[in-house]
């Protein structure tokens, strides 16, 4: 029980963060501002793709500045230390300079960080005059085997040497000046963590304004982070009640989907019938980059409620299914770097080895983009229908080509009949739109409305998951995440998540993805190359109108 | 004593490897050839620069091929799997392909590895036609702020966007095709280790023939390895008797300077009065990349014998000096990547914290290049002298300009007088050359010769260390290693290493470098920027002729 005190602190933290979940302060790095860490809160989604979602679904990370604004360090001083950290030579870049820069950065207001980042992107870019010079040199070189077809191999080697030299120089000058800063920071303890926060700031600026230079910096930094975070260097760690409170605290802070309500709940999350695994990186100590929560069950759960039990429904030895019910990324700054894929593969391998009686690996996942897609579809169709009704003579032909009644005739009939009094509308789609956008979700307390909405919502959900694509990939970010990892779509479940968030995102529907161990690589490959979505016959039935 | 069995195996290994120390087999990676691992032997130098030395001093690593040559896998099959590993798309590169390639690689004969590496360097190079196309595109872009000086910031942003796009593409096409192979291997368990062996092969080919394409591949791979091996991701581990035998076995295998002769010796190396620290990388498990051995002493040792005691001369609490007496790199393939610098800095920090009574951090180091330099100096001067003597009339003036009597008159006199009978010679330098190249080192058993040789050998050694440079840096690789890490040259010690190797390398002289904690950064910086060598007055005296 030596952890009791730590957990008490932890619980206080939890309550603090709960008061205003929209405030997502940046994670500071250094001791000075360490107390802020307890406020830290990352992105988390049930069995979701934290990276893609962080880019698409999440709002920008907000800075939680020090209460006293006089404690901001002078912008120019930080800019100066940034300059030193980049321009001093190798032996001069004393650790002090880099420390000074990262501490200074954290002390800046969000507005000043923005200013600094844009300065970095624009002023410490590459030297285009040098690039041009080298490019001209390069064009002057003659490719061997061209005109001088009779040249000996020795000549050829000599000519190639010139190419290698200029190409190496070209690669060098094509590196923006800020690459030095990234490399130097990465080589220092705490540097990778700093860079991850740094990039989270960049992403939150880019979410609000499209600045070409900053976007270029981001894509450069992302590539760097990708190469530094080799999965082979990540340690798979089973998180248990024996872990230090400082690590468990992170699980509490970053697990935003199924909040941990009390001590017992946290302990249960790590106890009998459940598992929790995280990826630790040696340069970011005591904090998993990503973690996944697993429940051991007899069957693939159809609702999230089945997973959030207080006492294990069955002994572990009777479980045949490992259900991934939550995957959370702790580093918004690592958005776009798919660590989840490797984590899932390794967890499956480990669970299979330790518990051979488990043969099914599945998820119970949200469908974060479903309602957004459906509502915009319904809204645009309603408008088109109105236009058509208002001017039945003029250019009705051209409007019609875009029109589509996404409801089946029986579905429309049933909807119109049972909503006449409470939600009168001109058409089934109009009624559906009104029902689904009613702020209090009145429809879920009416058995008639529920049974009228279920058929179209389930059918359209299957269509959304199986057929709606963006650049050849599943439109839904969570679907895309699991499909690219090699999963199949198994089943959609009605009223699987009745929470407000669940209703808002997907009308309460959740989906089970299944990882069939022997087919993971094959599924991932065909999805990658042709966009083909592997799905059960069960779910395909909805879209075939059977 | 659970380690007893492991250690018995380990001792057998030691004996096996001792029989033929010139055979340095490559380290294989996979289970199939795992038994070869016990033969593994890397480069090791007392307090040396393993990297630079591996490039300069060591001969090429030799392949130890399977005894049965029919077990070689077909070259074409391995080449095919290499092609697949590079050209298949992301989702297709199944682990199987990469496994197949690395296993196949290990099964190849050295000649076939050479063929494969050259193929990789030449065939999987970059696409120069693509580079040319992009370069022409790039030259077509107009720099903002040039002619169109009145353009708005919006236009400027748009123009810069074009630059960013083409520059990103240019960076992309300037990557040789083999980069994909490196990245994919690095992402897999065991991949980093494989790449290190792979590069060791490349280096041993380059040591014998200068192939431009392979040199370009090497410099590319070295840069990659450098970014993957961020010091922040390395774990400093104190190696103790409690470590697994599989790890201790590596210490035995790679420590080539002061061979571990028996169980007691190994245990002592890790016991009271000594420390051993290694850098572990999460992707290369159970094997330090580099390790350093430390002795806790009252004073800075003057000979290596003082360090290799059987029982601690003093209790640890009375020690004031931590003496680094051996630093060994285990990965010839990481040559040129300075991990030692970070290791030394971290070890100093750790020792200072744990043992505040220790205030001196020093080394007892070899001077591997001294004799080579001195003998070539003596030889060339002897030839010049002969030429001059043979034709005293013709062009003697021009010869004289290169002539230098590197001996002081008294030194020469003493040498000539005491060597008359055994080693008659025309001049002091001639005598000295004969003495030092006598295969049996007769001079160390003659008190007269010893006392005649000591003054010139010590004086010239100081000159060699302090004044002989290559591209502005110390000519001696070990000196350069410690000086760039921020050490100072403290003292040279006569008859400090009487082993054959010690006599052959440096006439038995060893040097103490000192790391003055508060001046490390300053020393490193001035050495880096001006080549200035920090040294004690004691050693400077030799070169001032005082």
Residues of chain A neighbouring B142 (CB-CB closer than 8 A): none
For A165-205, the pLDDT digits (tens) are: 999 999 999 999 999 999 999 988 889 999 999 999 999 99
Taking the C-alpha atoms of residue B399 and residue B390, their distance in angstroms, rounded to an integer, is 12
Give CA B380 to chain center in angstroms: 29
Task: Answer yes or no: B365 catalytic.
Answer: yes
Query: Which pLDDT belongs to residue B88?
Result: 85
Number of other residues whose CB lies within 10 A of the CB of residue A383 = 10
Are residues A527 and B91, on separate chains, in Cβ contact within 8 Å?
yes
For A418-429, the pLDDT digits (tens) are: 877 776 777 888
Name the minimum distance, in Å, from the CA of B206 to any CA of chain A: 14
For residue B9, give both structure tokens: 């195996």
When mean pLDDT is compared across A164-178, A199-213, A531-545, the lowest value belongs to A531-545
State percent of chain A over pLDDT 90.
Answer: 54
**A80 Cβ neighbours under 8 A, 6+ residues apart:** none
Mutate to test the interface with B, among A192, A282, A348 (most CBs of B within 10 A): A282
Torsion from C-alpha of A88, A90, A96, A98, nearest 10 degrees? 80
> Which one of A94, A170, A521 has the shortest CB-CB distance to B174?
A170
Q: Give the C-alpha distances (Å, rounded to integers) separating A473 from A70, A529, B487.
A: 49, 10, 57
Long-range contacts of B201-207 (CB under 8 A, 24+ apart): B201/B26, B201/B61, B201/B63, B201/B110, B201/B113, B201/B114, B201/B117, B201/B333, B202/B117, B203/B54, B203/B55, B203/B60, B203/B61, B203/B332, B203/B333, B203/B335, B204/B60, B204/B61, B204/B62, B205/B60, B205/B114, B205/B117, B207/B59, B207/B60
Of B362 and A151, the one with more pLDDT: B362
Q: Which of A365, A419, A427, A477 is catalytic?
A: A365
DSSP state at residue A271: S
Q: Which of B196, B482, B506, B534 is catalytic?
A: B482
Give CA A324 to chain center in angstroms: 16
Question: By the 8 A CB rule, do A319 and A41 touch?
Answer: no
> Which one of A89, A227, A282 has the shortest CB-CB distance to B233?
A282
Residues of chain A neighbouring B157 (CB-CB closer than 8 A): 211-213
Taking the C-alpha atoms of residue B78 and residue B198, their distance in angstroms, rounded to an integer, is 14
Provide the CB-side half-sphere exposure for B118 (13 A, CA): 14
Residues of chain A neighbouring B230 (CB-CB closer than 8 A): 186-187, 192, 228, 283
pLDDT band at A143 (very low <50, low <70, confident <90, very high): low
Q: Which of B365, B382, B419, B477 is catalytic?
A: B365
Name the minimum distance, in Å, from the CA of A121 to any CA of chain B: 11
A-to-B residue pairs, Cβ atoms closer than 8 angstroms? 140
Are residues A232 and B191, on separate chains, in Cβ contact within 8 Å?
yes
Query: Which pLDDT belongs to residue A392?
Result: 55
Query: Which pLDDT belongs to residue B153?
Result: 65
DSSP state at residue B517: G
For A230-280, the pLDDT digits (tens) are: 888 899 999 999 998 888 888 888 886 677 766 667 888 898 999 999 999
Classify burial at B272, counting beta carbons within 10 Å of its beta carbon; exposed 0-12, middle 13-18, buried 19 or more. Answer: exposed
Torsion from C-alpha of B181, A234, A288, A40, nearest 10 degrees? -50
Name the minimum distance, in Å, from the CA of B517 to any CA of chain A: 14
Residues of chain B neighbouring A92 (CB-CB closer than 8 A): 525, 528-529
Taking the C-alpha atoms of residue A499 and residue A69, their distance in angstroms, rounded to an integer, is 39
Taking the C-alpha atoms of residue A324 and residue A330, their distance in angstroms, rounded to an integer, is 17
- Residue B355 sits at the vertex; the CA angle it makes with B349 and B357, to the nearest 5 degrees, is 110
Question: For all residues of chain A together, what is the average pLDDT?
Answer: 82
ipTM of the complex: 0.77
| Chain A CA closest to residue B135 | A135
- Residue A264 sits at the vertex; the CA angle it makes with A261 and A270, to the nearest 5 degrees, is 100
Query: Which pLDDT belongs to residue B521?
Result: 86
| Chain A CA closest to residue B210 | A157
> Which one of A191, A233, A524 has the shortest CB-CB distance to B91?
A524
Task: Give me the tens of pLDDT residue by residue for chain B, a chain 546 residues long.
Answer: 334 443 333 333 333 333 333 333 333 333 322 222 223 333 333 333 443 333 333 333 334 444 444 445 689 999 999 999 999 877 666 788 999 999 999 999 999 999 999 999 999 999 999 999 999 999 888 765 544 444 456 677 778 888 999 999 999 999 999 999 999 999 888 899 999 999 999 999 999 999 999 999 999 999 999 989 988 889 999 999 999 888 888 888 888 667 777 667 788 889 899 999 999 998 898 899 999 999 999 999 999 989 988 888 899 999 999 999 999 889 999 988 888 888 999 999 999 999 999 999 999 999 999 999 999 999 888 788 777 766 655 554 555 666 778 899 999 999 988 877 776 777 888 899 989 998 888 899 999 999 999 999 999 999 999 999 999 999 999 999 999 999 999 999 999 999 999 999 999 999 999 999 999 988 998 898 899 999 999 999 998 765
Nearest residue to B344 (alpha-carbon basis) of B321, B368, B362: B362
Classify burial at B257, counting beta carbons within 10 Å of its beta carbon; exposed 0-12, middle 13-18, buried 19 or more. Answer: buried
Residues of chain A neighbouring B164 (CB-CB closer than 8 A): 212-213, 215-216
SS3 A280: strand
Question: By the 8 A CB rule, do B191 and B101 touch?
Answer: no
> Which one of A139, A174, A527 has the shortest CB-CB distance to B171?
A174
Taking the C-alpha atoms of residue B303 and residue B501, their distance in angstroms, rounded to an integer, is 14
């Amino acid at each position: 029980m030596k952890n009791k005190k730590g957990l008490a602190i932890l619980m206080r933290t939890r309550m603090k963060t709960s008061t205003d979940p929209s405030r997502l302060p940046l994670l500071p790095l250094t001791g000075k501002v360490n107390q802020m860490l307890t406020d830290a809160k990352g992105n988390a989604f049930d069995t979701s793709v934290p990276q893609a979602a962080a880019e698409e679904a999440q709002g920008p990370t907000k800075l939680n500045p020090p209460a006293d604004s006089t404690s901001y360090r002078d912008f120019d001083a930080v800019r100066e230390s940034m300059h030193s950290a980049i321009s001093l030579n190798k032996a001069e870049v004393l650790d002090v300079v880099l420390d000074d820069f990262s501490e200074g950065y954290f002390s800046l207001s969000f507005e000043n960080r923005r200013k600094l980042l844009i300065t970095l992107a624009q002023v410490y870019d590459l030297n285009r005059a040098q690039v041009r010079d080298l490019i001209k040199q390069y064009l002057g070189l003659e490719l061997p085997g061209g005109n001088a077809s009779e040249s000996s191999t020795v000549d050829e080697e000599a000519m190639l040497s010139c190419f290698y030299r200029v190409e190496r120089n070209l690669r060098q000058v094509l590196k923006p000046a800020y690459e030095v800063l990234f490399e130097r920071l990465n080589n220092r303890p705490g540097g990778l963590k700093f860079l991850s926060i740094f990039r989270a700031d960049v992403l939150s600026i880019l979410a609000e304004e499209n600045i070409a230079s900053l976007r270029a910096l981001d894509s450069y930094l992302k590539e760097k982070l990708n190469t530094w975070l080799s999965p082979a260097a990540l340690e798979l760690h089973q998180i248990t009640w024996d872990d230090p409170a400082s690590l468990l605290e992170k699980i509490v802070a970053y697990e935003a989907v199924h909040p941990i309500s009390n001590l017992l709940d946290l302990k249960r999350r790590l106890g009998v019938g459940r598992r929790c695994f995280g990826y630790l990186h040696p340069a970011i100590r005591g904090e998993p980059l990503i973690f996944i929560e697993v429940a051991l069950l007899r069957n693939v759960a159809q609702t999230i409620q089945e997973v959030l039990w207080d006492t294990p429904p069955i002994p572990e030895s009777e479980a045949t299914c490992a259900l991934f019910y939550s995957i959370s990324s702790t580093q918004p700054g690592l958005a776009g770097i798919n660590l989840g894929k490797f984590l899932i593969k390794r967890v499956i391998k480990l669970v299979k080895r330790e518990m051979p009686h488990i043969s099914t690996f599945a998820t119970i996942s949200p469908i974060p983009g479903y309602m957004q897609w459906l509502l915009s579809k319904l809204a645009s169709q309603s408008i088109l229908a109105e236009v058509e009704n208002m001017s039945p003579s003029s250019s009705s032909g051209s409007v019609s080509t875009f029109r589509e009644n996404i409801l089946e005739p029986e579905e429309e009939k049933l909807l119109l009949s049972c909503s006449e009094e409470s939600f009168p509308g001109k058409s089934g789609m109009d009624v559906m739109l009104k029902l689904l956008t009613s702020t209090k979700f009145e429809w879920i307390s009416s058995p008639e409305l529920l049974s009228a909405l279920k058929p179209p919502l389930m059918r359209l959900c299957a269509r959304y998951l199986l057929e709606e694509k963006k650049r050849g990939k599943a439109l839904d970010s969570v679907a895309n995440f699991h499909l690219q990892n090699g999963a199949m779509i198994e089943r959609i479940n009605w009223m699987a998540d009745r929470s407000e968030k669940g209703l808002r995102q997907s009308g309460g529907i959740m989906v089970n993805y299944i990882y069939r161990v022997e087919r993971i690589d094959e599924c991932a490959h065909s999805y990658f190359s042709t966009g083909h979505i592997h799905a059960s016959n069960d779910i395909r039935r909805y879209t075939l109108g059977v």
